[in-house]
Structures are given as C-alpha cells and as structure tokens.
Amino acid sequence: MDRGLYNLAVFLDLKKSFDTVNHDILLAKLELYGIKNTPLMLLKSYLSDRSQKCQVNGELSTLKYLKYGVPQGSILGPLLFLIYINDLPNCLQHSTVRMFADDTNITVSGKSIKEAEVAVNVDLNNIREWLLSNRLSLNLVKTEYLLIGSRHNINTLEERTTACFYWR
C-alpha cells in the first residue's frame, strides 16, 4: 500500500484435504524427498489397509475401508499432508504463497487492479492444474478474495470496475 499498489489476497480452502490425500502420489513424493526402502515401506504399511467405524447413540456403523487420506488425530497425519502439498508453491509465477496446514493463501500486487487481476488469474489456473494432478479439489464456497489498497486507490476505483477471478 505504501508503494501505491493494489494487492489481491486469495484465501484457498481445500475440500476434505486430509481425507483425499492419494497414497500413491504421497509415497512418490516421499521417495523424491529421499525416503526409500524400509522407511518408505513402513509408511506404505502405515497408510494401507486402514478402516473406520462410527458410533452414534450406541449404534455402530459398518466397517468402511479407506483408500485415501492421512490419519487424522495422529502425529504423522499433519506431517504427511504437509509433505503432500509442499510443492504447491512451485507452480506459482506471480504470487506469494503462505501455507499453514490446510490453509493456504496467495497474494499478488499490481500497479493497476487489472494487472493484479491478470496475475492472480494466471496463478489460480496454475493452482487448478496442480490440484488436478494431485487429486485435490478447492472448496469454492469457502474460498474468498480480498482487495487491499490505499484509501485513495480504493476510493478512486470506478464503480463499474470489479475484479474477476476465473475458475475453470
């Protein structure tokens, strides 16, 4: 704002993030980080053949086998999820990314609202491609954006000018 720029922040919400982690993709990423042989097989075993039941009002559900996801409530679950999404920033060209667990936001600045809009849309498209290749999806209802600028810049925006973000 001190430099007179427009800033766009997009707050991304991943749909069922911990529940949709693909085990094969996660294991491939772990291997890229240097985890091989016995440690990799141990983690594969940890993720495989998991099941769950729920009990509500004394009634127990049927057993459901889990094909995807990392164990929630465990020490390893959040760590494995972070490893899974750690390469997301590599797909960005214009934005600065901030990631904390499954909360991610990107910010971009521009001399005009149009410049910031174009830049953020390029990176949103890159994120869309990354999400598709990692079999994750965005919760569009919970994803929000915020325009930040000096009072002068915001007040001088024409009424008909609105930022448009495209998600294909």
Q: What is the CATH number of the domain that holds 104?
A: 3.30.70
Nearest to 7 by CA among 85, 142, 105: 105
Q: CA-CA distance, 24 to 33, in Å (whole number)?
A: 14
From first to last of its 168 residues, what are the pLDDT tens digits of the chain?
Answer: 667 788 999 999 999 988 899 999 999 999 999 999 999 999 999 999 888 888 899 999 998 888 888 888 888 998 999 999 999 999 999 999 999 878 899 999 998 888 999 999 999 999 999 999 999 999 888 999 888 876 766 766 654 455 565 555
Residue 15 falls within a domain, yes or no?
Answer: yes
Q: Distances from the Cα of 56 to the Cαs of 45, 53, 59, 60, in angstroms?
A: 29, 10, 5, 7
- Looking at residue 159, what is its pLDDT? 46
Residue 165 falls within a domain, yes or no?
Answer: no
- Looking at residue 152, what is its pLDDT? 67
Residue 162 falls within a domain, yes or no?
Answer: no
- Looking at residue 160, what is its pLDDT? 41
Residue 164 falls within a domain, yes or no?
Answer: no
- Looking at residue 105, what is its pLDDT? 95
State which residues form the domain around 100: 6-156
SS3 of the chain: helix, strand, coil, percent, to 5: 35, 25, 40
Residue 25 falls within a domain, yes or no?
Answer: yes
E strand segments, 2-159 = 6-13, 50-52, 55-56, 59-60, 64-66, 96-100, 103-110, 144-148
> For residues 5 and 110, is the Cβ–Cβ distance under 8 A?
yes
Q: CA-CA distance, 31 to 133, in Å (whole number)?
A: 17
Residue 166 falls within a domain, yes or no?
Answer: no
- Domains in the chain: how many in total? 1
Residue 70 falls within a domain, yes or no?
Answer: yes
How is residue 157 annotated by DSSP? S
Residue 167 falls within a domain, yes or no?
Answer: no
